[in-house]
């Protein structure tokens, strides 16, 4: 029986939030809300709560890297945005952290 060493756990250091529009979303309504959405999103960035923000390339939507470590806190923050309050956008929240395999490098013998 092969013995595998379990991958060490790493702390959550950010939350990746993927925002997309549900099927059938009225995009004209989205355009109507977008101005205030952008203002409030920019304010979250200026407040240090959003570290990075991107547009999705394969469909309409956004990807935020949030400076929070608690999924519940991220959920609460995103629920307050206008598109989410109007039920025009949904978010998938993914806790992320340091790349786990890098810890294996620390256990390798040092080169002589």
Structure tokens at 60: 């309409």
Picking from 93, 90, 74, 83, the residue whose alpha carbon sits closest to that of residue 20 is 90
What residue spans define the domains of the chain? 27-97
Task: Report the predicted TM-score, pTM, of the whole model to 2 decimal places.
Answer: 0.82
- DSSP per-residue letters across 45-100: HHTTSEEEEEE-SSSSEEEEEES-S-HHHHHHHHHTSHHHHTT--EEEEEEE-S-T
pLDDT per residue, tens digit, the chain (112 aa), is 556 656 567 889 999 999 999 999 999 999 999 999 999 999 999 999 999 999 999 999 999 999 999 999 999 999 999 999 999 999 999 999 988 777 777 776 666 6
Q: What is the pLDDT of residue 103?
A: 72
Give residue for tokens 């806190």. 73
């Amino acid at each position: 029986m092969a013995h595998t060493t379990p991958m060490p756990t790493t702390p959550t250091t950010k939350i990746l939030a993927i925002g997309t529009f549900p099927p059938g979303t009225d995009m004209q309504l989205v355009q109507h809300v977008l101005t205030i959405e952008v203002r409030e999103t920019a304010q979250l960035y200026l407040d240090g709560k959003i570290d990075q923000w991107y547009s999705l390339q394969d469909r309409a939507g956004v990807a935020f890297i949030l400076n929070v470590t608690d999924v519940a806190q991220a959920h609460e923050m995103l629920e307050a945005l206008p598109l989410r309050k109007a039920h025009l956008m949904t978010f998938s929240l993914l806790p992320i952290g340091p790349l786990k395999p890098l810890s294996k490098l620390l256990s390798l013998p040092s080169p002589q």
